[in-house]
Amino acid sequence: MTQLLASQPSAVARMPFEPASSDTRSSAEIRAYVIGNGLLGLFGILFLAPLAWLFFASVDANATWALSWPHFTLANFRQVTRGDFLEALFNTFLLSLVATAVSTVAATFGGYALSRRRIPLSDELMVAILFLTGIPVAIMIIPVFQVYAKYNLLNLWATGVFLGVSSLPFALWLIKTSMDAVPKELEEAATMERANVFQIIWNVTVPVALPGIFSAMIFSFINAWGSFLPPLVLISDPDQVTGPIKILGLIGSADVRYGDIAAYSIVYSIPVVILYVLVSKPFSGGFSMGGAVKG
Amino acid sequence: MFSFWYRPLLRTLLAGAALSALSFGCRGAQAADKTVLTLAYSETYVFDTEDFTKKWWGGIKTEFEKEHPDVTVQLEPINGGYDDIINKLSLLYRSPATAPDIAQMATPTVDQFASSGYLLPLDKYLATASWWKKFPPAIQSEGAWQGKTYSVNTGENDSQLYYNIPMFKKVGLPVPWQPKSWDDILNAARVIKAKLPGTVPLWILAGTGSGDNTLLMGFNNLLPGSDTPTIFDGKTQKWVVDSPGIREVLGFYHAVYSEHLGAALSDLFSTSGVTAPVFLIQKQKVAITFGSNFYGGNWSNTICTPCWPQAAQIAGVAPIPTMKGQAPGIATTIGGWDLVASATTKHPDLTWQLLDLMENEENQINAANWAGFVPGDADYVKSADFLNFAVPYNAVSAQVLPDGVIEPPNANYLIWSRGVQEATGALAQHPDTSVDAAVKIISDYVSNQLDPSQVETLK
Amino acid sequence: MTTDAQDRPDFLALVLLLPTILLLLILFVGPVAFAFYLGFTNIRLIGPTAVHFHLNGLVNLHHLYGDSLFWLSLKLTIVFLMVSAIFGVTVVGLALALLMQHAIAWLRAAVGAIVVVAWMLPPITAALVWYAFSTTGGTLSLLGGSQLDVLNTFPMTVVCLANIWSTAGFSMLVLSAGLRQVSSEVLEAGRMEGASRWRIFCSLTLPIIQPTIVTNILLVTLLSLANFSLIYIMTAGGPGNATDILPIYSYQQAFVFNKLGYGALLGDVVVIIATIFAYLYVRMSRSSRLTHA
């Protein structure tokens, strides 16, 4: 499994119950092995079950919300890879990019400050910031709209900033805790070589805290990718509309295009899945400190 | 280690963010010398498809800009459903900088926008409009607030009964069917239930799944034909939560659901409860349904959601009768979309001309055909282009329009509506619910949300 | 710590924190504070008090106290959080994380991907997927004879399950990371002493990952509170008021009934609930003598 979140970068990597050799495998262990995998497989099926409709409806010419054997067609997929749907996909990508950049940069510097520097009440501050995660976005949307309207910021970019800010609390917590785990000796070594703070952060702390930072990036990206209410309210230019809003648009008052919704949802989910697969691979093993610190 | 690739990656991310910022910043630049009129409307909800939305509004823009070369019409489509459109408009109108010069908004909300001070009174312009005089009084009153008119209708919805002709013939019910009372409807449904098991005898919306549409396409088409059609008592300024009329309508619902004449809950309560009958009728799963005027257009070859060339042979249509057939004999509720002008518009005369253009015959008939409306103007509604678009359905839609009543425009109407939605939902989901219990649901809900002093019982 | 410039750190720390603090203040704390203020006014979304509104003292609060639907909503919210977030997501996430540890490689990858995809799906899709799954004719209903409408018969159950489904991926990732902190030597030692698998889990693993579990509970609770879109699109609080948890009731009051002031007050209650959880978290972390998870 992946190692997306911060952890002690030490000896952990192995499977605790993997038998050393076949002769020492007892029947109890084999039983446990089979049951364990069986249970996991069951979970897999349970989680896959709701998605069955998605796949069926996407290739169904007469899709409704009921699960039915499809009249196979690719028309739905053709419909949702038209110009404006693809443009919405691209817009979502830009939006998520901006949100991730804003969130990660601010959280990296802020996390470093909270982790490394003596700030009064930093624990309380951290928890206060963290609980902001639970505030429903609908509460904030009107004041934010008014501010944005006043400064002519009702566009994709400013919405991306807002989404970055909405995932900032959690990103901050993730990065701060992963920086906490970076041994101070590494930085002391760099300070002794007369590096300034920014050099230390960029060259020493960030590389070691990278799993945590990447986790924060993924979280921010996914948060922005699936975001629905802020783009709906804050974006006024129809060319800047994002994916979830396009899906909403397929629910009209005279007709609900379930086939298109399913097809577009699949198309829309693929980039995030690819991203996840790409980013999770480098972290599936542990990593070593090399010879950075002596003694 | 990672140092080799993460730095370029992070740099690329930041660069990407910066580039996109630039690209969107630059898009703001516009030709500053032309007069700009902004037009706000629904992108996906009002017209039957997005393509028709673009066609109609794009057509308006082209036509107007041709007649006024020094004006640019800026289109501002709004995404989302009914609530989202109202919410977006309410946000846009909060400041003159974002308030659209013209907006298309739902009929029930006009009064509230007017009372907020957002809208321009149109009376002096309407005096010069030839088409205004041909609007029936009920439709003209949609935009009335404190003695002035703030909106003009751009398309109405009304309701009728649709029935399956082959099924009726099979069980010996008269075709063409012309029910003269609620009992006629119930009795026909009972015959279907007895002789054609496996079909839904009568579809009428219930519950909260479709929001106010449950009333617009269901409950509120019966109430005007009952003994007490009043929803909001203008004299006492109170909401009626119990009356003989309300009991009669709830009694109708009770009959339908306790005798199992109604549809499955998953259809009734779904997000597409409003459009489900369109498909159910086509698939011949439903015998009778309360439906909206847009059904006929949906089946036409132009709209095609779904395409049903044989519609006219299989789906009959009839006006909804009053309870005992008493005058006026037809009952329906109406509601649609209206056009409004901003109170802070910098170009009121030009704005009016744009509005006038949208209300001309060709544009109104196109709007009616492409969005499933009935045109408000008494002449347009007789035009061949409208009537022939969906034969014979549009003729009946036109026929019932003058008898239509509008829903109360009061701010708290939706609360009363929600109470009724919950009561009908309870009747549908738990058929052993009594009418008394259902009335109590409405009464409790509205009293709780507003205040016991704002509700009343009519005798 | 470094020995030079002991007095500089605070200023530098402030500079580093500045982007975060500024962004949070302007785009987060500010709006929330404004929403708090709005909760005590008579503002409406549209209507005479849309633009010209004023504080109306404790009128909204008084209405809240007497609003039976609010108390129902509060109860539903607590039930939802307890069952779905605190218990459901944590247990499922923990089970997944544990099972992943000693599973066949391809199975681990496949199930992991499925669970994470469920988490990543935009809420509007997840809502429609679950609607299809749980109504008549959907997969879930096939269990009870295909005419069973699970969604409308057991709405709260379905909503809780949907929340678990869409949040378990996140919980699994957090708890997997926590499990990695359990060193294999400790577990080997336990096995050497002949302890049963369950005993090892309870006495060795659990105490080590307890801080992670507590943190996970807090985060999952907050995420579930914020999971408004999913439930709103699925049921909009229905049928009737069966799934009308506070975020949904608040939205309905503010954006459907246009009572923005009252809706804001209900939103304030949600914020207070989130605060209570954060406070409890701090207390529990302190009592386990932790400074970070």
> What is the secondary structure of A164-218 as a DSSP string?
HHHHHHHHHHHHHHHHHTS-HHHHHHHHHTT--HHHHIIIIIHHHTHHHHHHHHH
- Which residue's structure tokens are 């990718």? A225
Confidence of residue B161 (pLDDT cuts 50, 70, 90): very high
Q: Which residue among B364, B397, B430 closes a domain?
A: B397
Tell me if the bond preceding A120 is cis, omega within 30° of 0.
Answer: no
Please, which pLDDT band fits residue C290 given cuts at 50, 70 and 90? very low
pLDDT single digits (tens) B27-71: 444 445 688 999 999 988 898 888 899 999 999 999 999 999 999
Q: With 70 as the cut, is the pLDDT of residue C153 above it?
A: yes
Examine the domain organization and report whether B176 and B309 are in the same domain: yes
The residue to which tokens 């979140």 are assigned: A5
Alpha carbon distances (Å) from B257 to A47, B345, C114, C238 = 36, 51, 42, 19
Domain enclosing residue B418, as ranges: 159-331+412-457
Q: What is the domain range of residue C132?
A: 41-182+211-287
Residue B407 lies in a domain: no
Instruction: Give every CB contact of residue A177 below 8 A, 6+ residues apart in sequence.
Output: A6, A212, C292, C293
Give the largest CA-CA distance in chain B.
Answer: 86
Which pLDDT score, from 0 to 100, does residue B27 have?
A: 44
C28 → closest Cβ in A165, A229, A262: A165
Question: Domain for residue C206, yes or no?
Answer: no
pLDDT at residue B53 in the model: 92
Chain A CB within 8 Å of residue C19 CB: yes
Q: Which of A41, A130, A172 sits opposite C278 (nearest CB)?
A: A130
List pLDDT tens digits, range A21-50.
444 567 777 887 888 888 899 999 999 988
pLDDT of B417 reads 94
Q: Is B431 on the interface with A (CB under 8 A)?
A: no
Residue C54 lies in a domain: yes
B233 contact partners, CB below 8 Å, separation of at least 6? B239, B240, B456, B458
Same-domain pairing of B321 and B359: no
Chain mean pLDDT for chain A: 77
| A99 residue type, one letter | A
pTM score, two decimals? 0.85
| Same domain for B447 and B299 | yes
Average pLDDT rounded to a whole number, residues C94-118: 84
Least confident of A51-55, B233-237, C4-8: C4-8
Cβ(A113)–Cβ(C17) under 8 Å?
A: yes
- State the Cα–Cα distance between residues C35 and C58, nearest whole angstrom: 15
Q: So what's the pLDDT on residue C147?
A: 67
Question: Which of A166-170, B35-39, B69-73, B185-189 is least confident?
Answer: A166-170
Q: Is C274 part of any domain?
A: yes
Task: Tell me whether residue C144 is exposed, middle or buried, using C-beta atoms within 10 angstroms of its C-beta: 0 to 12, 13 to 18, 19 or more.
Answer: exposed
Residue of C153 and B319 predicted with greater confidence: B319
Query: What CATH number is associated with residue B350?
Result: 3.40.190.10
Q: Determine, yes or no, domain membership for B15.
A: no
Other C-beta atoms lying within 10 Å of the C-beta of residue B287: 26
Homologous superfamily (CATH) of A80-249 is MetI-like (1.10.3720.10)
- pLDDT surpasses 90 at B337: yes
Measured between alpha carbons, how far is B66 from B418 in angstroms, rounded to an integer? 46
In a domain, C196, yes or no: no
* Angstroms from A233 CA to nearest CA on chain B: 6
Assess if residue C125 is contained within a domain: yes
- Residues of chain B with pLDDT > 70, as a percent, come to 93
Position A253 scores a pLDDT of: 64
- Do B270 and C237 lie within an 8 Å CB cutoff? no
What are the φ and ψ backbone dihedral angles of C292, each rounded to 5 degrees? -160, 155
Is the pLDDT at A160 greater than 90? The verdict is yes
- Taking an 8 Å cut-off on Cβ atoms, the answer to whether A131 and C184 are in contact is no
B237 or C106, greater pLDDT: B237
Report percent pLDDT > 70 for chain C: 92
Between positions 224 and 283 of B, the ones with CB within 8 A of A are 270-272, 274-275, 278-279
CA–CA distances in Å: residue C263 to residues A227, B17, C43, C252, C266: 22, 35, 10, 8, 5
Residue C191 domain flag = no
CATH number at residue C45: 1.10.3720.10
**B-C C-beta contacts closer than 8 Å:** 92
**B100 Cα distance to chain centroid:** 22
Does the pLDDT at position A288 exceed 70?
no
pLDDT of residue C6: 47
Out of B87, B265, B429, name the one closest to residue C255 (CB): B87
The burial class, CB within 10 Å (0-12 / 13-18 / 19+), for B195 is middle
Phi, psi of A173, deg, nearest 5: -65, -45
Q: B138 with B266, same domain?
A: no
C23 domain-assigned: no
pLDDT grade for A9, boundaries at 50, 70 and 90: very low
Q: What percent of chain B has pLDDT over 90?
A: 69
Q: Which helix or strand (DSSP H or E) is residue A54 part of? A: helix A51-58
pLDDT digits (tens, 9 = 90+) for A91-131: 999 999 999 999 999 999 888 888 877 777 777 777 777 77
Question: Chain A partners of C218 at a C-beta cutoff of 8 Å?
Answer: 130
Domain identity same for B138 and B171: no
Contact C101 A105 (CB under 8 A): no
- State the pLDDT at residue B166: 93
Last residue of a domain, which of B374, B397, B420? B397
Residue A18: C-alpha distances to residues A15, A39, A157, B70, C102 (Å) = 6, 17, 49, 79, 7
The mean pLDDT value for A170-197 works out to 79
For the segment B84-104, what is each residue's pLDDT rounded down to a tens digit? 899 999 999 988 888 999 999
**C23 in reach of chain A (CB within 8 A):** yes
Q: Who contacts B279 (Cβ-Cβ below 8 Å, separation ≥6)? A: A64, B306
Residue B3 pLDDT exceeds 50: no
**How many structural domains compose chain C?**
1
**Is B28 a domain residue?**
no
Give yes or no for A236 touching B (CB within 8 A).
yes
Long-range contacts of B127-136 (CB under 8 A, 24+ apart): B129/B356, B129/B359, B131/B359, B131/B360, B131/B361, B131/B377, B131/B379, B131/B380, B134/B377, B134/B378, B134/B379, B134/B380, B135/B376, B135/B377, B135/B378, B136/B376, B136/B378, B136/B401, B136/B402
Compute the mean pLDDT over every residue in chain C, rounded to the nearest whole number.
Answer: 83
CB contact under 8 A, A105 and B14: yes
Residue B265 tokens, joined? 């809950």
The yes-or-no verdict on residue A202 having pLDDT over 90 is no
Measure A266 CA to nearest chain B CA, in Å: 20
Identify whether C202 is part of a domain.
Answer: no
Cis peptide before C122 (omega within 30 of 0): no
Mutate to test the interface with C, among B269, B420, B446 (most CBs of C within 10 A): B269
Q: Which residue of A has its CA nearest to C255?
A: A138
Domain ranges of chain A: 22-75, 80-249
| CA-based torsion, B270, A251, A79, A271: positive or negative | negative
pLDDT tens per residue across span C233-277: 888 887 888 899 999 999 899 988 999 999 999 988 988 888 888
Read off the pLDDT band of C11 (50, 70, 90).
confident
Measured between alpha carbons, how far is A6 from A210 in angstroms, rounded to an integer? 9
Contacts of C291 in chain A (CB under 8 A): 123, 180
Count of structural domains within chain B: 2
Above 60 in pLDDT, residue C177?
Answer: yes
State whether B116 and C151 contact (CB < 8 Å). no
**pLDDT tens profile B399-454:** 999 889 999 988 899 999 999 999 999 999 999 999 999 999 999 999 999 988 88
Count of CA atoms in the C-beta half-sphere (13 A) of A159:
30
